[in-house]
Amino acid sequence: MTPKDMMVADANAEALGIPKQSLMESAGKCLAYKIIHLSKPCKVAIFAGTGGNGGDGFVAARYLVNKGFEVEVLFLGHPSSIKSDETRKNWEVLQKIGNSDLLQISNIRDSSDLQPTLAEMVIDALLGTGTQGKLREPIASAIDIINQSKGIKFAADSPTGLDPLTGKVFDKAVEADYTVTFHKEKSGFKDAKREYIGEIHVCDIGIPQEAEIYTGPGDLLRLKNRDANSHKGQNGKVLVVGGGKDYSGAPAIAGISALKSGADMAVVACPQAVSTPIRSYSPDLIVKSLTDDHINLKDVDKLAELAKDSDALVVGCGMGRDDETAEALNQLVLMVEKPLVIDADALKLLDLNLIKESEQEIVVTPHKAEFKSLFGYNVPEHSDNKQETVQKASQMSGATVLLKGAVDIIAYKDKIKLNSTGNPGMTVGGTGDCLAGIVGGLIAQGHPAYEAAFLGAYLNGKAGDLAVIDLGYNFTTTDLMGYVPKAFIK
C-alpha cells in the first residue's frame, strides 16, 4: 500500500462514518500494546512530530501511562504548527492530564533542546509516512539521538527518513527494531534495508475493506495538481475519434467532457458530414473533418498523424458500425502508440486480439451487451461472479475494463475497484460518452489508465448525483456535463 493509498483509505473510511479520531485512537493504542506485550513497565521516550504520526504517539502515551510505564513525550514543534484536528485534540488531552510521576511532556523548539535518552523503549512518531526529501532540524538531530539510544526502537507506521513508497533513505533514517505499521504494510518496505525497518507488525486500526474497494471522496486526493507555471497544452490533449451520419452529439459530448475534466485541448476528428454540427456545439472544440459520412480507411493516415500530437485518444463515440469503419478502427489501433479509451460502437467493431497484442494502455468501457460483443461471454447477474468475470476479461486482454452499471466494476489484471456513484437519471443517452471523455481527459493529464478509469467512473457518477439534487431525474447529458467540474471539488 502506498502512502497515497493510505490517505485515500483514511478519507474514504471517514466518508463511511468512521472518524479520523477513531482511526488515530486505534493506531496509538495498537502501538502502545506492542510495547506492553513485549515488556514490563519501564521508561519510554516518545519523539512526536506535528502531523498525524505525532498524534499516534500522543495516544500511545496515554495507554502506556495507564499500564504503569514511565513516559516522556518529546514534542518537536510548536502547538500552533500542529497539522490536523485529531493530533491537536490528543495534544490537548496530554496537556490536561499534565506532568506527573509517570508522564513528562517536553516541547522541543530547537535541536539544542534535545538530549540523549536513557529510556529502555523509544518510539519514533516524528514523520512516519510523511517523510519527503531532506530532513529539517530538529527532526534530523532527533533521528541521531534515537539511533544512538541503547533502548529498543519502535517506528510508528514507517521509520522517519525512509521513503515508504520506495524504501529508500534520502538522507538519514531511524533504525527501528520494530516497525508498527497501520492497516497494511507500506509498498516500500519490501525493498527497504532491514536495518531501518526491523521486524514489521501490521496493526488493524478499523478501516473497512469497502474504503479501499469502493471509490469515494478520498480518491479525489489522487487528482493531479496543476503546475502553476504550466502552458497551453501541457495539461493534456485529447483526440476524440467518432461520429457518423446518424450521430453528431456523442463525440462532441466526449470532447467537452474531456475539457471539463481538466484537459487543455480536445480535438474531435469526425466524418465531413457531421463536422459542421459538431463545431456548433462548442467553440472550445477543435474539429478536424475527415472524408465521407462515416470513418473509413482513407481517414487512417490523418488520424494517425493527429494522434501524434495527442496525449490520449477516445475512440468510438457515435462511430457507427459500418464494415469500412471496422477496418479503419482496427488499422488505427495497430498504428497509434498513445493510450486509448475505447467506447460505444468501437467495442463491437474491435478485434480483441489487437488489444491483447497492444503495448499501449487501453481502457474499454462497455455496458453488459457491449461486454458480450467484445469478450464473447455474458456478464453474470450475481455481484461476486460479475466481479470475477470482469477481472478475467482484464487478465485475458491486458486492458483496463470498466463495466458500466448501477455499480460500475473497474478491473486491471489483479486489481479491482467498485463505484456506486450515479443514479437512475443517468440512463439518459450520452452519459457513457461523458464518462469516456472524462477518462480520456484524466489519462491525458498523466493518470495511469486504471486510476483514470475508476476516478472517471466516480466523477461521472458524482456529477449525476449533483445534477439530481438540483434538477431531479429529468436531466440531460448536457446538464450533466455542467456538473463535472463541481465533481472534482474536494
Q: Please, what CATH class does the domain formed by 217-487 belong to?
A: alpha beta
Q: Which residues, in sequence order, are CB contacts of 225 under 8 Å at separation 6+?
A: none
pLDDT at 319: 96
CATH number for the domain running over 3-212: 3.40.50.10260
Cα radius of gyration (the chain):
27
pLDDT at residue 83 is higher than 90: no
Alpha helix (H) residue ranges in 98-229: 139-148, 194-197, 210-213
- List b or e across 311-323, with b for residues whose CB sees 16 or more CB atoms inside 10 angstroms: bbbbbbbbbbebe
State the Cα angle at 126 between 123 and 127, rounded to 5°.
130
Share of the chain above pLDDT 90, in %: 93
**Local confidence band at 444 (pLDDT 50, 70, 90 cut-offs):** very high
Amino acid (one-letter) located at 70? E
Give the whole-angstrom CA distance, residue 315 versus residue 37: 59
Q: What is the pLDDT of residue 134?
A: 81
Chain position carrying cell 475497484: 417
Q: Which secondary structure element, helix H or strand E, spans residue 94, and what is its range?
A: helix 85-97
How many angstroms separate the CA atoms of 330 and 228, rounded?
A: 39
Assigned C-alpha cell, 422:
450515479
Cβ–Cβ under 8 Å, residues 322 and 294: yes
pLDDT of residue 448: 98
Q: For residue 488, what pLDDT is reported? A: 97
**Residue pointed to by grid coordinates 495507554:** 63
Query: Beta 400-403 vs 408-412: how paired, if at all?
Result: antiparallel
321/80 Cα distance (integer angstroms): 64
Confidence (pTM): 0.94
Kindly report, residue by residue over 116-162, the tens digit of the pLDDT. 999 999 999 999 888 777 899 999 999 999 999 999 999 999 999 99
Find the mean pLDDT for residues 214-239: 94
Q: Which of 105, 107, 144, 131 is nearest to 53 (CA)?
A: 131
In this prediction, residue 381 has a pLDDT band, given cuts at 50, 70 and 90, of confident
**Do the first three CATH levels of 3-212 and 217-487 match, i.e. the same topology?**
no
Going 339 to 343 to 346 to 349, the CA torsion angle's sign is positive
The domains of the chain are located at 3-212, 217-487
Identity of residue 54: G
Mean pLDDT, rounded, of the chain: 96
Position 435 scores a pLDDT of 98
